[in-house]
Structure formats: C-alpha cells, structure tokens
Amino acid sequence: MSDWSIADSNFEKHPEKAGIGYNPLIVADPPTCPVNNGTECGDGHDSSEWKGEFFPGIPNIKYEGPSSKNPLVFKWYNAGEEILGKKMKDWMRFSVAFWHTFLKANFEFLEKLGVDRWCFHDRDIAPDGNTLQESNSNLDEVVALAKELQGKKIRPLWGTAQLFMHPRYIHGGATSPDLGVYAYAAAQVKKAMEVTHYLGGENYVFWGEKTMSLGYQTLLNTDMERELDHMARFFEASIAYKKKIGFNGTLLIEPKPQEPTKHQYDWDAATAANFLRKYGFIDEFKLNIECNHATLSGHSCHHELETARINGLLGNIDANTGDPQIGWDTDQFPMDIGEATLVMLSVVRNGGLAPGGFNFDAKLQRESTDVDDLFIAHVAGMDTLARGLRNVAKLIEDASLTKLVQKRYQSFDTELGAEVEAGKANFELLERKAMEWGEPEVLSAKQMLLANI
C-alpha cells in the first residue's frame, strides 16, 4: 500500500484503551477518487474535501406500506413499529456485508438503507502484504478509515479473518498439518479479533470454510482425530485471547458441510454443537446459521435454526439462500416468504438474536448490473424477513399452530407422561401400561392442515 505517514493517534499512545497491543493505525484518508462527480482526481487530491454522493439518484429508503409500487421503499419493514413486544429493527438487527460490493460507499449505502451495522473479512477490506507485518499495516490503514466513517452510530455486527484464498491455506488453517500455517492462521485471527474489538464489533465469526479452513478431501492422508484436537486448541486460544483483550462480543461458528473441502468438520448445527460440547466450549460459542448452508447439508433452514435454538446456540443468521437446483453456495438474497416465516418463528421463539442479528452475506446475481439493483435486493431481503415476522405475529395471535402441536403431544400431559419426561418411568412400568392399554390409536399429524395455516 502507500507510504502515508503514521499519525500519532490517541489509540497509538494508549493502546490499552482498545484492549490490544501496539498497532499503529493510519488516520489519514486514502487517496480515493470521487465517484461520478465530474472532477479530476490527480496527485494530491484530498478525498475528504469531496462532499458528493456515491448514490446521488437513490433517496433514503422509507416505509410506505404494502400498497406501494415503488421498488425503493419498504413495504413490510417499518423499523420503529412494535411487533410482539419489540421494534422491528430490534428483532432484525440488520447488517450489510462490506466485501461483496464497495468500500467508502458502504457507509453512505448503510445510511440510505437505514441500517446501522456492517460486517467484514480482514482480507476483503485490506489486501495481503508480502509479510504478516505488512498485511497488518494494510489492515490498520483501512480500519482507521472505517473507524472515522462509521462514526458513533454505526458499528460492526461482526468481524472475521479470511483464511482460505491465499495458497498457504490450501490444506487448511486451524486444521493444517503444517505448524507454520497453523501459527500464521492464529496470528491472522488474533489481529482480526483486535480490529473487530477496536471498531466496536458485537461478535466475531469463525467460518468453517473461510475463516478456519476446517476439513479434508480424503481420509487416506488425514488424521481426523488430531485435526479436531488442533481445532479445539485453536478455539481454546481464541477464547483466552478474547478475554485477555476485554472483548465482550460473542464468538460465532458458522456451520457449512462442503466447499472448498469435500467434508468440513462443522458440517451442520448438530455437528458443531457436538464438537463444542465434547471439548467443553458449549458456553463460549453460539452458531451463525446460513440457510444456503442448511440446503447444502441436506436440511431445511428451519431445521438448522431449531437445532441451534434448542441447544441454546442460536446467535446470528446469515441472511442468504441458495437455489435448490444448484449444488453450491450461491449467496442469493432471501425472497421466499414461506421460508422467511419459519426463520422468524425460530427467532421469536429464541427471544431475538441480540447481540447477533441478520447479516446480508449475499450478492447480486450476475445479470443485475444497475446501481439501484443493489438497493432493491437489500430492500427486498429486508422486506421478506419483515413480512415473515408479521406472519409469525398472526400465527401467535391465531394460536392454531400452537394448539395443533399441543394436541399432538397431549398424551404426555398426563401423570405417566410427566413421569416419562422426568426420567422416572422405567421399562417395567411402561410394559405394564402397554399391556393394560392394548394397541395404541395412532392419530393424524395433520400436515395438510398445517400447510394451509
């Protein structure tokens, strides 16, 4: 990167206030050319003097209601409206991903969209250098700018380290058979956690495929037990460092079954929960569930969310989906109202997601090339989830779904049922009851009625 001078900032003088070691940060604006402002951008241009807009034709997105035909307004998402005891913005806690689209324009985009959270990968906002020190310096420059641009109203929902594009991670990061790669991965995660903390991030994410490179192509050359133990020691070190620097955010793991490896160790929510429980980390992590990854693992998104929720692990939702006809991670914006209703049903049952939320780790499809497509996609995704929340409120008010489920399990709402659920009914007792009652009557599960509700 450039040879801009390092400013003697308060952060540099007092690194202990950010809870991290000495990390010089560049506080000058990088020499970025204005977008479509009709001026020249030559040597010595000071981008801080430019007060124009990156999206001059796009207004701040407002709520107009379902009858509106304007694609650049919310029809279902009304941030301040209270539903089921919370404002919609507090149920959703929306965040926009930094890496798929833009740099400085990101913060104007957030303001116009009415979103006050963003999220990032370290290497997607700042490039690798020739050395670890240079990479850290590159990241510091961008982080200093991001700190200035986000101001006091915007903060990261989460940050993370990207450990999969560089050739050094071809055999993995935290599960690499090479100790040098393992150490490099640890150093990169350490730095990413520091800058996430410095920027006021609320969570830190470990992706199986992107931020940890966890998995294998064949077991013939893999010591699976040793790799899982190494992964556990890596997570153990991350927990310790989080506490050392005073980062109070939640550590999140995002399950994914495949890609780039054939089999990843965090295959799905149940696998991740089992790993956390085995190694004693169940109270230190939560899960970041992505609907597209649920599809790849052979589950519905609702299944993955409920698995996380009932294990006390639902912490964040990666708000993208995939095409069921395509066998890879396509990162599409959520548009299925039925699926969104089930997603929000899990969120409501969970009592919300805070300090997590919904992040749009999604991107435009290749044929959508206009600038306003970026806004339309986010608006549609936010509206879809908001409509799902409104549907859940109706389901709860109507109570039909609740009553059907209660009726299905009503035989356990008896004295013997209570003994079974309390672990007090042995096989001898249950055998006597089976002989006394005879052949049980099997009732309909009413799936067709449920589908109509």
Q: Which residues are known catalytic residues?
A: 121
Contacts of 356 (CB under 8 A, 6+ apart): 93, 157, 158, 202, 203, 250, 252, 286, 288, 315, 316, 317
**Helix, strand, coil percentages, rounded to 5, for the chain:** 45, 10, 45
Note whether 15 and 246 are within 8 A (CB). Answer: no
Coil, strand or helix: which one is 295? helix
What is the rounded distance in angstroms from the CA atom of residue 239 to the CA atom of residue 79? 34
**Residue from 154, 264, 269, 268 nearest 211 by CA:** 264
Note whether 315 and 287 are within 8 A (CB). Answer: yes
Q: Which residues on adjacent β-strands are paired with residue 250? A: 203
Rounded (10°) CA dihedral 416, 418, 423, 424: -50
What is the rounded distance in angstroms from the CA atom of residue 59 to the CA atom of residue 57? 7
Tell me, what amino acid is at 61? I
DSSP letter (8 states) at residue 7: P
| Alpha-helix residue ranges (DSSP H) falling in 99-200 | 105-113, 122-125, 132-150, 179-198
**Residue from 266, 236, 239 nearest 254 by CA:** 266
Sign of CA dihedral 299, 300, 301, 305: negative
**Residue from 147, 153, 192, 122 nearest 28 by CA:** 147
Q: Where are the beta strands (DSSP E) in 353-404?
A: 358-360
What is the rounded distance in angstroms from the CA atom of residue 289 to the CA atom of residue 286? 10
- Characterize the bridge pairing of strands 314-318 and 285-290: parallel
